[in-house]
Amino acid sequence: MTIRSLVWKEILQRPAPTIAALLAVALGVAALVSVQSIATSSEAQVARQMNELGANLLVLPKSADLQDYYAADLHNETLPEEYVTTIILAQAVGVEEMAPKLCLQTRIDDKDVTLTGILPRTEFFQKSSWQSVDLMFQEMEETKLGSKHENCTGRTCQLADADMQDLKSYAKTRVVHDLAPFSILVGADAARELNVSEEDEIEIMGESFTVAAVLPASGTVDDQRVFAHLHTVQDLSGMGPVVNVIEVMGCCEDVTDGLVAELEELLPDARVITISQLVEAQVSMNRLMSRLSYLLFAILMLVGGASIASVMFANVSERRRELGTLLALGATPALLQRLVLMKASLIGVVGGAVGLLFGAVLAFVCGPMVVDVPLGLSLQAIGWGLISALIVAMLFSYFPARKAGHLDPSVCFQDV
């Protein structure tokens, strides 16, 4: 008979108190793992957005609500398209590309589709070139904008190379060089649902369009959209020369602050948002979630620890005869303490493992509903959870173990 077999037999004989103590530990670990995993995944998404879009700005109607960068045009508020020309004519430093958009909900082949109007670069080139005389003798402004801006070439409205003229590059660059009035670009998911491929003809709102390209998947809402020339969409909608959003791509992050100020002055009736402002709310929420998860974990661990202590004290009291018998047969007080602590450590380890599993399931099932991001487990949270569960279980079992070790066999047998 080994200590391990003694512990295991005791657990099998009295499962209820063991399970109760185990659940308390599992809950605490589950809360920590799930919340931390969601917060970590959300932070990773924010970092990815900042990396891809860090120098970008959005010009929106003042009253528009904004939830997500890629869905910035999915609201019913509009701006006059003349704001686009205003930005072009201002020749602001750092504007690399612009992407005004107008969004229209429609049906194609009985399927709901988001038809998005986009403006080709050729339209910008023409208006920008009308300022040739003013531009010709301006030297490149010397700006004290930091080392990142030194290598920026200010490519707005330049001639396009073969890469830029490839319509499929829109999925990556979000800008198209040229697009005929009745040609469309179809997102990957939309093409699958509508069962269309390149050069197919489809009817949208009574007009016939040719599929100029099916875009590669980008993992954003753009995969579900159909893109057409902005002016065509304006004509179809009857809304006139308006847009829902103007996406301004900066050449580097060093220009962002100056560009924001300049655009706010140029367009006082519009709202200018940077990527960092957009993700600020998400970053704050992540921080809050992270802190709350540790607080919740601490509280649940205390509750779990108290529960373990209570269960262990009751267990030692209940097993007085048994423990007295062991003492009478020659077991040492240290052995009895080890019996109690081993049981506690088993509760800690198994409780931690169950909590980890439960927390992972919770994160993968509920996480996307909460923050709509691809989930990954937080290894740090897993490590903390398992170690803490073990330590708490053993810590709160210390006094019950001491009590078991100080039992008097003669007193134990008096209960017989």
Region from 19-27, 65-73, 160-168, 346-354 binding another protein, contact rule CB under 8 A: 160-168
Figure out which of the listed residues 11, 50, 75, 125 binds another protein, where binding follows CB under 8 A.
125
Cβ count near 269 (within 10 Å): 9
Q: Is 137 in the site for another protein (CB under 8 A)?
A: yes
Q: Is 160 in the site for another protein (CB under 8 A)?
A: yes
In angstroms, give the least distance from the CB of 219 to another protein. 25
Region from 26-34, 150-158, 185-193, 331-339 binding another protein, contact rule CB under 8 A: 150-158
Region from 106-114, 128-136, 180-188, 274-282 binding another protein, contact rule CB under 8 A: 128-136
Given a contact cutoff of 8 angstroms between Cβ atoms, the answer to whether 100 and 119 are in contact is yes
- Binding-residue total with another protein (CB under 8 A): 34
Q: Is 131 in the site for another protein (CB under 8 A)?
A: yes
Q: Which residue has the tokens 């923050």?
A: 371
110 vs 161 by CB, closer to another protein: 161
The two beta strands, 56-61 and 270-274, are antiparallel
Q: Is 89 in the site for another protein (CB under 8 A)?
A: yes
Q: Is 325 in the site for another protein (CB under 8 A)?
A: no
Cβ count near 297 (within 10 Å): 26
Q: Is 134 in the site for another protein (CB under 8 A)?
A: yes
- Write the binding mask 170 to 189 for another protein: x where contact by CB under 8 A, - elsewhere: --------------------
C-alpha to C-alpha distance for 98 and 376, rounded to whole angstroms: 34
Q: Is 155 in the site for another protein (CB under 8 A)?
A: yes
229-258 residues in contact with another protein (CB under 8 A) are: 241
182-221 residues in contact with another protein (CB under 8 A) are: none
Figure out which of the listed residues 1, 12, 16, 159 binds another protein, where binding follows CB under 8 A.
159
5 vs 147 by CB, closer to another protein: 147
C-alpha to C-alpha distance for 45 and 372, rounded to whole angstroms: 10
Q: Is 130 in the site for another protein (CB under 8 A)?
A: yes
Q: Is 63 in the site for another protein (CB under 8 A)?
A: no
Q: Is 133 in the site for another protein (CB under 8 A)?
A: yes
Q: How far apart are the first and last CA of the chain?
A: 24
161 vs 415 by CB, closer to another protein: 161
Q: Is 97 in the site for another protein (CB under 8 A)?
A: no
Q: Is 55 in the site for another protein (CB under 8 A)?
A: no
Q: Which residues bind another protein (CB under 8 A)?
A: 81-86, 89, 125-139, 151-153, 155, 157-161, 163-164, 241
